[in-house]
Structure 1
Amino acid sequence: MTDFSIIQTSARRVWDSRGNPTVEVEVTLANGAVGRAIAPAGASRGTREAVDLRDGGTALKGMNVSAAVNNVTTRIAPLLRGMDASDQFGVDAALVDIDGTRLKSELGGNAMVATSLAVLHAAAAANSVPLWAYIAQISGRTPSLPLPEIQIFGGGAHAGRRVDVQDFMVMVPGAKDFDEVMETTAEIYHAAGKIMQAKGTLAGVADEGGWWPVFASNEEALETLVKAIEMAGETPGDRVIISLDIAASEFGSKGRYRLALEDRELDSDQMIALLGRWLDTYPIASIEDPLAEDDPEGVAAFTAAYGDRVQIIGDDYLVTNAGLVKQAAGAGACNAVLIKVNQAGTVSESIDCFRAAQSSNYGTIVSARSGETEDVSISHLAVGLGAGQLKVGSFTRGERMAKWNECLRIADALPANAFVAGAPLARTWWANKKQG
């Protein structure tokens, strides 16, 4: 019998895609298997998500992680020594217990998520199976290739708040396979760059690799995205649709929404009306965090008005928390949830949130963060859970492409019909249009 007991847990400081320090953890098992994982970091963060432990002070903008690294080596390593790495839920429960705080502030969410993922990798290696296959095994799910959600323009906290809306994205539910999604998105991405270059508004890329927005209004970004889809030879709303991450908590509070780019303030009803007009005007089939996390009535009202037409995703509003998903479902707010492992703090809590979403008939989207690395764990998580959708940012920057490319490799090991295509959007206008 293979010995899955953990004999060593170590940590080091590494660096993320924004040049900030983060935590990498390595876990070694008695059978020689090794697992390694790196904690990502978000810029747009919900107030109820796990918090990274940072050193503070003046060095490295206060972002150093020596305390988090030290917590792995002095507190987590002794805790895990001798534990069974194949008992992911037991390991994660022990981490949550020793931390003892609601937001993982004692050990640090960065220390905990890197450790939890490293244990997952080690157990998969010990089983001599790919990570996605191991995730499917422990979750009881059937693996599938997700539908990507890919940023073309970055905004909000990811682009110096040059526009208020955080992500202007495309999805290709009409593609025949994952590779075709990549090809179509490449054409759209480069077309968008050509349009901006011709207008003299090309200003580099944002945190997640999307074009840095230089627009006079939020809606100009939508208009430009439609033009880019057309320039790529596609009909907007046919094979290709638009997805938005409003990230309303970044510019809204207590039912008031300040659109800095347009120098105006809206209340919840006016914000809902604005987004509703966009839904009527543009081929948008998915929208994330349309209202702020402290505006549950607004989120519920938006869902009541548009939930039968579009996918409405909770991110800052639900923070990968099973209890919050159940609460939102009971209130009629949202119909999908973003799954971010570092938002929850452990793999197990992320799987619990996924299961709560499934039981609530919510869609699920596994997501990266704006501060990312070469770690490709989430590609395997999306496939292994059969989550249906994956969001990792744009179509440039190595930390983004590493995850898309990993999905292409996984595709070679799965049946030809493993790609979900437009199935995750079955309850949207896009699916109704195709059926009609």
Structure 2
Amino acid sequence: MSRIHRNPTLLAPTPSPSSIPPPLEPSRSSPPPPMAATIVSVKARQIFDSRGNPTVEVDVCCSDGTFARAAVPSGASTGVYEALELRDGGSDYLGKGVSKAVDNVNSVIAPALIGKDPTSQAELDNFMVQQLDGTKNEWGWCKQKLGANAILAVSLAICKAGAIIKKIPLYQHIANLAGNKQLVLPVPAFNVINGGSHAGNKLAMQAEFMILPTGAASFKEAMKMGVEVYHNLKSVIKKKYGQDATNVGDEGGFAPNIQENKEGLELLKTAIEKAGYTGKVVIGMDVAASEFYNDKDKTYDLNFKEENNDGSQKISGDSLKNVYKSFVSEYPIVSIEDPFDQDDWEHYAKMTAEIGEQVQIVGDDLLVTNPTRVAKAIQEKSCNALLLKVNQIGSVTESIEAVKMSKRAGWGVMTSHRSGETEDTFIADLAVGLATLLRIEEELGAAAVYAGAKFRAPLYRAHVIFCIEKL
């Protein structure tokens, strides 16, 4: 019912009192809810990552004016069970172009998402993965048709748009999607010495030797500790090996021409001591053992980088396990990633059983952020931590599921970048939302909780997701 206002120049005859209707009651009904924002456009393009390789960037625009942009990274050391990114092949960009993935976004995914609600993350991710793509292998949805790089770029942009529409920080939006009520700032793991495919030295182990400031009281203090150890390490390396040895690898760590892993551990121990943080800064390793595993004889070749390799440095899985145990006994190591080949479930389980209470055994190539492989590892007690890389699985929703499964099992979670990164900072919000960092700590103020030395305590494993952000 609408009210009719009198025109003062055209007065109607005065009605009799009996015909005067009672005054209208003010409306008690609530105003209609605003229309939900919907996606009006999705646009992909080819950009370049930090290693100069092409990758996919996506813009999402919504009916309320919301604009979100996301880009996907790529790795140099990749697990064979990762979701399948789509590359062009051919001669352009040495076969690494992504025009096919870009076209799949613009011609297949974009039209199908017009008019949909970007706050419905799981619904849209599942729609893209299971209906628009629909390809599967023994480990689940592999994204072979459209490309994991195409789907993930859209998934990340949708997630950002959802946070903007809800008027909350991205990390809080991710926490809400995961049902995570407590936010914990992760312990940063500074990647300071590189080996394997990420460097030109003779280290067989990828040996991303990392430093973790677990003794810090806050994330800000942890950053201070990490930076000071890093600069002390640079001085130690320069003095021992010369200026050229301070060049860096793909991951940003130093790549001195060291001959064995103990040498790298000694350098870190010395740098930590010189910085004055003994007992407060500890060590992590990423071995990437699949790189030097020989599937034919089931051995690990520590001399695989030598041109005239005579096979004398091949060792068994049990022998390699004992090497790690000796490292742990001599150095303050708290985390070892990918200590064995991605299919060597047996030795993962052995090592976790023997030193899993002392050390975080992290599955990267073993798990590839895949819920099916995570379930297998939980059942077989193969490791006790997940390395979270969203581009390994190809969607935000599947990444969250892998983390929730890990959390229920009492595992730790490390949130990781890739060696081919972009300017997109999504993983910083992911690390906090599932458990950007300095700014988030400032924003949270007194409510900010830093994981610190309690990163493996039962309370944290039961109630939060501990994420180590690799820098």
Contact 1:257 1:268 in 2 (8 A): yes
Residue 203 of structure 1 deviates from its aligned partner by: 4.3
Determine if contact 2:178/2:404 at 8 Å carries over to the other structure. Answer: no
Q: Which runs of 5+ in 1 are unaligned?
A: 387-405, 428-436
Correspondent of 1:26 among 50, 59, 66:
59
Partner of 2:238: 197
Deviations 1:198-248 (A, max 9, x none): 12341411111111231021211111111111111121xx11110001111
1:373 and 2:422 are equivalent in the alignment: yes
Q: Alignment partner for residue 197 of structure 2, among 140, 149, 157?
A: 157
State which of 179, 203, 223 in structure 2 corresponds to 1:140.
179
Residue 161 of structure 1, CA deviation: 5.9
Structure-2 residue corresponding to 1:395: none
Runs of 4+ that moved beyond 6 A: none
Equivalent of 2:443 in 406, 413, 418: 413
Structure 2 distance, partners of 1:138, 1:360, is 19
User: Is the counterpart of residue 119 in structure 1 residue 158 in structure 2?
Assistant: yes
Residue 159 of structure 1 contacts residue 207 of structure 1 at CA under 8 Å; is this kept in 2?
Answer: yes
- The 10-residue stretch of structure 1 (213-222 or 343-352) with the greater mean CA deviation from structure 2: 213-222
Mapped contact 1:145–1:407 kept (Cα < 8 A): yes
Q: What secondary structure does 2:443 align onto?
A: coil
User: Which residue does 2:129 correspond to in 1?
Assistant: 96
**C-alpha distance after superposition, 1:15-41 (max 9, x if no partner):** 101011100001111111111110100
Contact 1:3 1:29 in 2 (8 A): no
Within-5 A mapping of 1:54-65: 54-65=87-98
Number of matched pairs? 406
Q: Quick check: which has more Rg, 1 or 2?
A: 2
- How far off is 1:159 after superposition? 1.3
Quick check: 353-362 or 245-254, which moved more?
245-254
Q: Secondary structure at the match of 1:357?
A: helix
Q: Tell me what 2:15 maps to.
A: none
Q: Tell me: CA distance 1:128–1:259, structure 2 relative to 1, closer, same or farther (3 Å).
A: same
Q: How does 1:9-408 map to 2 (within 5 A)?
A: 9-97=42-130, 98-102=132-136, 103-141=142-180, 142-160=182-200, 162-166=202-206, 167-201=208-242, 202-235=245-278, 238-254=279-295, 255-260=298-303, 264-386=313-435, 406-408=436-438
Structure 2 gaps, min length 5: 1-33, 137-141, 307-311, 459-471
Q: Residue in 2 aligned with 1:401?
A: none
C-alpha contact (below 8 Å) 2:205/2:302 kept by paired residues: no
Paired with 2:356 and 2:273, the residues of 1 have a C-alpha distance of: 27
Deviates more, 1:134-143 or 1:222-231: 134-143
Determine helix, strand or coil for the equivalent of 1:415: helix
Query: Could you tell me whether the CA contact under 8 Å between 2:356 and 2:384 is conserved in 1?
Result: yes
How far is the alpha carbon of 1:2 from its aligned partner?
4.6
User: Considering only aligned residues, what root-mean-square deviation do their CA atoms show, in Å?
Assistant: 1.4
Q: Give the letter aligned to residue 199 of structure 1.
A: K
Deviation at 1:176, TM superposition (A): 0.6
Distance of 2:373 and 2:52 partners within structure 1: 32
- Whether the 8 Å CA contact 2:86–2:147 is kept in 1: the answer is yes
Amino acid in structure 2 at the alignment position of 1:156: G
Percent identical among aligned pairs is 43
Task: Give TM-score, length-normalised by structure 1.
Answer: 0.90
**CA separation in 1, counterparts of 2:71 and 2:318?**
41
Do 1:246 and 1:290's aligned partners in 2 also have CA atoms closer than 8 Å? yes
Partner Cα distance (1:253, 1:132) in 2: 41
Find the residue that maps to 1:242 and give its secondary structure. strand
Greater shift, 199-208 or 78-87, is seen at 199-208
Deviation at 1:116, TM superposition (A): 0.3
Give CA-to-partner distance per residue, 1:45-72, whole Å, 9 cap, x none.
1111112211111221111111111111
Aligned counterparts of 1:67 and 1:160: Cα–Cα separation in 2: 32
Q: Secondary structure at the match of 1:275?
A: helix
Q: Is the 8 A contact 2:151 2:395 kept in 1?
A: yes
C-alpha offsets along residues 285-333 of structure 1, whole Å, 9 cap, x if unaligned?
1111111111110111111111111111101001101221121111111
Take 1:324 and 1:363, find their aligned partners in 2: how far apart are those partners? 16
Contact conserved, 2:72 with 2:391, CA < 8 A, in 1? yes
Q: Deviations over 1:251-280 (max 9, x none)?
A: 114331111268611111111111111111
For 1:123 and 1:375, locate their aligned partners in 2 and report how far apart those are by CA, in whole Å.
16
CA distance in 2, matches of 1:160, 1:318: 27
TM-score (norm 2): 0.84
